[in-house]
């Protein structure tokens, strides 16, 4: 009976693989058509959004439908399970120590720390911060926690004179990837190559004049794929290596196809009810997972999933008052600021000016003032209308209920889903890296614990519900 079951499992894999070739060919051409239509209908839409949603809509019909019925495991999942003992129950950006009581009681067996420092300096010498980072990874391993490392972003390479858009630069990127896997394969459990390269603020490189420019999806895929290939050729040991993207992110996934064979997993980052008006649509978690599995056919790790514990829509009066606060009274209403947007931007704090200059891509009015823009929530320190999942308000209890209900729903009957890392361990208790403001719900409020000035962790309600929801996932 087992042999018959295995035969039909293999037959079904071959069946879908045959039709996937044609579906992928069609999807790539439909994606280009949808992108052109989106630009024609909404010319102010940022290019990165069209580049994400075009491929996402193109792959939706075939890969969403077959994601429900195709086999939910394969040889890649089996190989992953041989390297990783059980489900990856983890948290990102852990800034407590492995011997702290709250961490030891958390039941999490995986963690990400801060991002991996650049291994080498501009003069070619090894980076002392990189050496210290490896030592910290060894401490965590000895304490029984596996570490997932996030390698440097493209801009870190350009800062030491490496341009990943050139063949010479790509070869240097490969060399550094080989060094990373040699240095880390005995002290970490997983490597994620860079992070969310569909997002403009993460995929930039420096030009000669110091300005930042985004990589194309094809350039980003070379940057990711050649590192994965170099690590595979160098020898990964028991380390799993993957790339990730924020949902939907199929521009990168499509471009990555020539390198799928070198990777052990693909990562999904998804924040329903936060940065987009998703309403009562938690099924999108399941849709994205099944569609991604159907397309990539690699084990999936939820590299980031989170839900903020505060943030509500601001009234117009509150927005106008905040405009006055940000500009020192130079502007006293949103309407006046929109009418003089170029001057308004110069009155904003420097962090905001830098973010707008880098990410707006000439669409300043959309980027700053359209409620669909991520920056709009940052500007007003709010969660805009509709940026919430119905029944899960942005409160500490709402966050806790989110993990209690969503985790079992997401993992059910998905053996290809091999890990989940909650974003993140602690509330930032500082300024938002993106807008420079304190108490920004887009980046603060996501933590499972609150740290005091001495670094002592006090669990929030979500700590307990996430811990219990993940406890028995196999």
pLDDT over 60 (residue 314): yes
As a whole number, mean pLDDT of residues 275-285 equals: 77
Q: What pLDDT is recorded for position 365?
A: 82
Range with lowest mean pLDDT among 101-115, 122-136, 193-207, 271-285: 271-285
Architecture of domain 87-311+395-471: Alpha-Beta Barrel (3.20)
State the pLDDT confidence band at 14, using cuts at 50, 70 and 90: very low
Say if residue 31's pLDDT is above 60: no
Q: 226 with 252: CB under 8 angstroms?
A: no
State how far Cα 392 lies from the chain centre. 22
* Stretch among 40-44, 218-222, 309-313 having the lowest mean pLDDT: 40-44
Residue 343 has pLDDT above 70, yes or no: yes
Can you state the angle between helices 2-41 and 47-59, rounded to 10 degrees?
140
| SS3 category, 378 | helix
CB 255 within 8 A of CB 217: yes
Q: Where in the chain is the domain with CATH 3.20.20.80?
A: 87-311+395-471
Q: What is the rounded average pLDDT of the residues 403-432?
A: 93
Task: Give me the chain's average pLDDT, please.
Answer: 88
The pTM of this model reads 0.90
* pLDDT for residue 467: 96
Structure confidence at residue 41 as a pLDDT band (50, 70, 90): low
Structure token pair of residue 308: 């903020």
Q: How confident is the model at residue 26 (pLDDT cuts 50, 70, 90)?
A: low
Which phi and psi angles does 96 have, rounded to 5°? Answer: -90, 180
- Please give the Cα distance from 313 to 434 (Å, whole number): 19
229-249 confidence digits (pLDDT tens): 999 999 999 999 999 998 878
Averaged over 336-363, what is the pLDDT? 90
Under the banding of pLDDT at 50, 70 and 90, the label for residue 10 is low
């Amino acid at each position: 009976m087992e042999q018959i079951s295995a035969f039909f499992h293999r037959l079904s894999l071959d069946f879908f693989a045959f039709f996937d070739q044609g579906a992928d060919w069609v999807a790539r051409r439909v994606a280009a058509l949808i992108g052109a239509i989106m630009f024609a209908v909404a010319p102010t839409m940022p290019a990165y959004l069209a580049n994400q949603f075009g491929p996402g809509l193109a792959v939706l019909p075939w890969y969403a439908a077959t994601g429900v019925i195709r086999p939910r495991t394969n040889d890649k999942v089996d190989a992953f399970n041989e390297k990783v003992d059980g489900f990856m129950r983890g948290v990102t950006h852990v800034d407590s120590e492995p011997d702290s009581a709250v961490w030891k009681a958390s039941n999490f067996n995986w963690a990400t720390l801060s991002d991996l420092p650049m291994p080498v300096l501009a003069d070619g010498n090894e980076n002392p911060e990189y050496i210290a980072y490896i030592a910290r990874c060894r401490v965590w391993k000895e304490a029984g926690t596996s570490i997932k490392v996030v390698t440097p972003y493209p801009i870190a390479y350009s800062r030491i004179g490496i341009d990943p858009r050139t063949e010479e630069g790509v070869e240097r990127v490969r060399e550094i990837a080989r060094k990373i896997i040699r240095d880390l394969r005995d002290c970490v459990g997983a490597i994620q190559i860079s992070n969310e390269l569909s997002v403009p603020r993460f995929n930039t490189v420096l030009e000669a004049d110091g300005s930042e420019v985004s990589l194309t999806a094809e350039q980003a895929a070379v940057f990711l794929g050649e590192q994965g290939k170099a690590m595979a050729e160098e020898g990964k040991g028991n380390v799993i290596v993957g790339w990730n993207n924020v949902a939907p992110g199929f521009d990168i996934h499509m471009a990555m196809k020539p390198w799928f064979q070198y990777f052990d997993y693909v990562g999904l980052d998804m924040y329903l009810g936060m940065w987009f008006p998703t309403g009562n649509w938690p099924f999108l978690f399941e849709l994205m997972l099944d569609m991604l599995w159907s397309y990539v056919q690699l084990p999936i790790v939820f590299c980031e999933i989170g839900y903020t514990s505060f943030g509500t829509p601001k009234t117009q009066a509150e927005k106008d008052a905040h405009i006055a606060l940000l500009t020192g009274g130079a502007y006293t209403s949103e309407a006046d600021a929109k009418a003089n947007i170029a001057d308004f931007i110069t009155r904003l704090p420097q962090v905001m000016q830098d973010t707008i200059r880098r990410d707006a891509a000439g669409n300043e009015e959309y980027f700053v003032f359209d409620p669909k823009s991520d920056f709009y929530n940052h500007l007003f320190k709010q969660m805009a209308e509709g940026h919430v999942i119905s029944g899960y308000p942005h409160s500490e209890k709402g966050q806790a209920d989110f993990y209690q209900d969503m985790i079992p729903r997401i993992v059910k009957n998905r053996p290809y889903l091999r890990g989940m890392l909650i974003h993140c361990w602690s509330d930032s208790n500082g300024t938002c890296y993106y807008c420079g403001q304190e108490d920004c719900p887009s980046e603060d409020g996501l933590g499972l614990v609150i740290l005091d000035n001495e670094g002592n962790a006090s669990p929030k309600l979500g700590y307990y519900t996430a811990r219990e929801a993940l406890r028995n996932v196999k």
